[in-house]
Structure 1
């Protein structure tokens, strides 16, 4: 009897390719994670630029809170605060989470100030504006516009002109020294205002960390995030479990559907189990088969039990 042929060995190249497939998967996962991280960073930067333009007032901070955390909290006059825990709207620890979110809101004002400084830096690099020009522009601006009222009006006009393409086009067309100087002054003054606003915003952020400034955020934000108590758990045909939500839909086979948790469902309850459509219940099935040998009777009992749970 001839000996059994051994399994042919894989070539080095084939082994290298197969061995690298796992590493390639890891690299792909890391690249995808890096891409998601970058997208999140871009969203945060855009949000910081947007919020940096909000008023430096208590209500401005309330609006900051709503923009940053409005999708994570609900408030009910009857029951107080709820927070979205990823599966349901929960009251457990909601008050503390709102307070923490308030703290994070005012701390993030420093990020908003940095966003303004970054814009100013970009403009400075684009137009070769040096710090000395900014300091001189500030001195000239304060000399020309002495009162706060005049400065506010002057800022509006100067920023408008700096952004107006017609003004820039006329300055470019004339190419006169005076026009060029004025156009550059307006660019410099725009950078100056960004730095001034960034400084004022940073100071406001520090002042907002006082308890007297943070406390109004909770109270003033509540009406904007208010939800009627009747809106919670309004659909009796939804059952929330650990890994998603079961729902009744007559258009589906078996009339039962399953979907990811959704905050718009406004569910506050959850059953601490995982739904598995392939799971069986052998002990119950065996008992029911002994108690009701007839299949039609077993189906009736199961339907009756289901109606009893409603």
Structure 2
């Protein structure tokens, strides 16, 4: 590091010969970094500060700026990692430049005497052919830089050469990042995507920057040499093949944004909330989105589009005032410049920040529809990438995938899960078919596919491992998993799909626990939620919206909820999975859950294997689950029990339906079963093939009759006597 000296005039001129020195605000009556960089008033027609004036200004806490001298250019990089890699490249190529370290990155100073370099204007956030994103400060537009002094923390001169080299071709700006908002070039290159990253950079340089093949070839060789830390399995020959494929790239739809027409691309903004909103989008449009249906901002956090519940979008908005000040520095008209600085200050008021953000919501570039989010059912987002469940490969996080959820587990194909395997063997009684079935169910649940149309019920008494099983799976599936109250799936007086279901959009694995005795499943809702079609829901006090559920429903309980419907439409969906093993006190491990979660990456591999098995072979329900579900169905067939207990079948018999109905309800009271309306009971009998016939104005059923002994028994029952007597009118047994 070069030490700072008190003679700032000579120091400035050693870096930028002949540069004008001007006063910047610094921390004079100011505590904000963005305002500190602004010049104190217009400076175009004013002389350079003297050494005495500089000292006095610094003593007050001010900063100084250096107006870029003619035939010089400053390349400003706000990314410290990218800047350090460029520094390494330039040193390796023996390029002579001055270097200033800044709080966010570095500034590289070169000569700019050639006609090509003289054409470069002051711009912000443009790509170079080596993938570095730069800002420029040039000597042809009175642009300036803050010059390091003892007042500028973390800003210092790092290197001064005796003479400077011309700005290299590969550091010229060639296309605006606003042209390719979703594109980012990784520095350093990431294993697994090195070839694709090099191809994308070269083809974008050719398409958007109109870079000649020779420059692309030179630049990509430099990228390979200095930006690729790990060259294992990536030879120079492979690089040359990639460059050859870029040279064949079709330029029919190229977008030309070079310096011959840069003036037409340099944006101006009105000093209004709309102008600020457009600045916000141009600056951060690749990192912010807004959903009107959910009335929420989403911010790109590097791995997914996260919902902005804390209004962090305002932090982006707070930087716009500094962009306005940068533009103001290039205005020659002092009156207009003052107006622009005032507007920059006003922009920092909370009311103006919120107005900027609220106005930006209606700009089409950042609006995202709910249906666009998490749309691909076979992408599962993880901490270290996005796993493609169809290909079985880990991909880079991509903004264009529009994923809003993530599991915080890393994919590591080498990890195992020995404790998990022992746990499953224990709770499933070493039944391999049951373990494999659970594996396929959870693998299927990683996807947003609901084509199986199933509803899984983990059934068994307490202390059998089902809660631990679900808690561990929920942890691994992460934000794709959700829990909901059991009442979501239990019949209510006023049934509807509303707030609880609205919150499950995008979820893939939904659990509910603790069934209560005597409660009934909300059968029509379950059929709708597992049917594969759109459902309508809304959040409290919000408008209704529709979405396609991606979630699989898994409930766990000690009691079997009532299922009144006997049709296949519901029973084809339900799968009862018995948890019959009880974990005794001496077998319990109080730290088991923590041990299992420590194997999260290994369990993820187990789940991914289950997904692959399901994709190839389907769920393959084992015999024990089929039998348990059939037994559940028989237990729920109350009408069959009634017919067995109370009815004699005789093809010549006819029974008045009101007698059948009265007997059923009396029998139901006696046996603790649910009563049925005449419509429900009649429909059930019809489904079973019994035919109704009207005789003397009354409906009768053919082929059955109420047993006399049952009738007499129910008549003698004190509990049911009132019901039968009340309905005994015209009660006639047919023979």
Q: Scaled by the length of structure 2, what TM-score is found?
A: 0.24
- The SS at the match of 1:42 is strand
The structure-2 alpha-carbon separation of the partners of 1:197 and 1:76, relative to structure 1 and needing over 3 Å to count, comes to: same
- Structure with more of its chain in strand, by fraction: 2
Larger Rg belongs to: 2
For 1:35-46, what aligned pairs fall within 5 Å after superposition? 37=106, 39-42=132-135
- The SS at the match of 1:223 is coil
State the match for 1:264 in structure 2. Answer: 400
Residues in 1 aligned to 2:317 and 2:287: alpha-carbon distance in whole angstroms? 12
State the match for 1:208 in structure 2. Answer: 347
The structure-2 alpha-carbon separation of the partners of 1:52 and 1:111, relative to structure 1 and needing over 3 Å to count, comes to: farther
Shift of 1:234: 1.3
Gaps of 5+ in 2: 1-80, 89-104, 108-131, 138-142, 144-172, 177-262, 448-735
Provide the alpha-carbon RMSD of the alignment: 3.7
Q: Alpha-carbon deviations, 1:24-82, whole Å to 9, x = none?
A: xxxx99841547855444279988x9777222222111111111111111111122111
Query: Is 1:277 aligned to 2:413, yes or no?
Result: yes
Identify the structure with bigger relative contact order (alpha carbons < 8 Å, sequence gap 6+).
1
Q: Alpha-carbon deviations, 1:123-156, whole Å to 9, x = none?
A: xxxxxxxxxxxxxxxxxxxxxxxxxxxxxxxxxx
Is the CA contact (8 Å cut-off) linking 2:83 and 2:106 kept in structure 1? no
State the match for 1:238 in structure 2. Answer: 379
The structure-2 alpha-carbon separation of the partners of 1:258 and 1:211, relative to structure 1 and needing over 3 Å to count, comes to: same
| Aligned match for 2:367, one of 204, 209, 226 | 226
The structure-2 alpha-carbon separation of the partners of 1:61 and 1:297, relative to structure 1 and needing over 3 Å to count, comes to: closer
The structure-2 alpha-carbon separation of the partners of 1:299 and 1:220, relative to structure 1 and needing over 3 Å to count, comes to: same
Query: Is 1:247 aligned to 2:388, yes or no?
Result: yes
State the match for 1:14 in structure 2. Answer: none
The structure-2 alpha-carbon separation of the partners of 1:304 and 1:30, relative to structure 1 and needing over 3 Å to count, comes to: closer
The structure-2 alpha-carbon separation of the partners of 1:196 and 1:109, relative to structure 1 and needing over 3 Å to count, comes to: same
Residues in 2 aligned to 1:262 and 1:219: alpha-carbon distance in whole angstroms? 26
Residues in 1 aligned to 2:271 and 2:445: alpha-carbon distance in whole angstroms? 57
- The SS at the match of 2:388 is strand
State the match for 1:130 in structure 2. Answer: none
Shift of 1:244: 0.9
Residues in 1 aligned to 2:431 and 2:289: alpha-carbon distance in whole angstroms? 51
Residues in 2 aligned to 1:205 and 1:53: alpha-carbon distance in whole angstroms? 15
The structure-2 alpha-carbon separation of the partners of 1:261 and 1:43, relative to structure 1 and needing over 3 Å to count, comes to: farther
Shift of 1:245: 0.8
State the match for 1:32 in structure 2. Answer: 85
Q: Alpha-carbon deviations, 1:190-247, whole Å to 9, x = none?
A: xx45x55444322321233334433321111002221111111112211111111101
The structure-2 alpha-carbon separation of the partners of 1:98 and 1:282, relative to structure 1 and needing over 3 Å to count, comes to: same
For 1:1-310, what aligned pairs fall within 5 Å after superposition? 31-32=84-85, 34=87, 37=106, 39-42=132-135, 53-79=268-294, 80-95=296-311, 97-114=312-329, 116=330, 192-193=332-333, 197-224=336-363, 225-249=366-390, 255-285=391-421, 302-303=439-440, 305-307=442-444, 310=447
Shift of 1:256: 0.8
The structure-2 alpha-carbon separation of the partners of 1:107 and 1:93, relative to structure 1 and needing over 3 Å to count, comes to: farther
- The SS at the match of 1:81 is strand
The structure-2 alpha-carbon separation of the partners of 1:208 and 1:299, relative to structure 1 and needing over 3 Å to count, comes to: closer
Residues in 2 aligned to 1:31 and 1:304: alpha-carbon distance in whole angstroms? 48
Is the CA contact (8 Å cut-off) linking 2:298 and 2:306 kept in structure 1? yes
Shift of 1:248: 2.6
State the match for 1:138 in structure 2. Answer: none
The structure-2 alpha-carbon separation of the partners of 1:243 and 1:284, relative to structure 1 and needing over 3 Å to count, comes to: same
Q: Scaled by the length of structure 1, what TM-score is found?
A: 0.53
Residues in 2 aligned to 1:29 and 1:70: alpha-carbon distance in whole angstroms? 21
The structure-2 alpha-carbon separation of the partners of 1:211 and 1:285, relative to structure 1 and needing over 3 Å to count, comes to: closer
Residues in 1 aligned to 2:393 and 2:355: alpha-carbon distance in whole angstroms? 43
Residues in 2 aligned to 1:279 and 1:113: alpha-carbon distance in whole angstroms? 56
Is the CA contact (8 Å cut-off) linking 1:81 and 1:94 kept in structure 2? no
- The SS at the match of 1:277 is coil
Shift of 1:275: 0.8
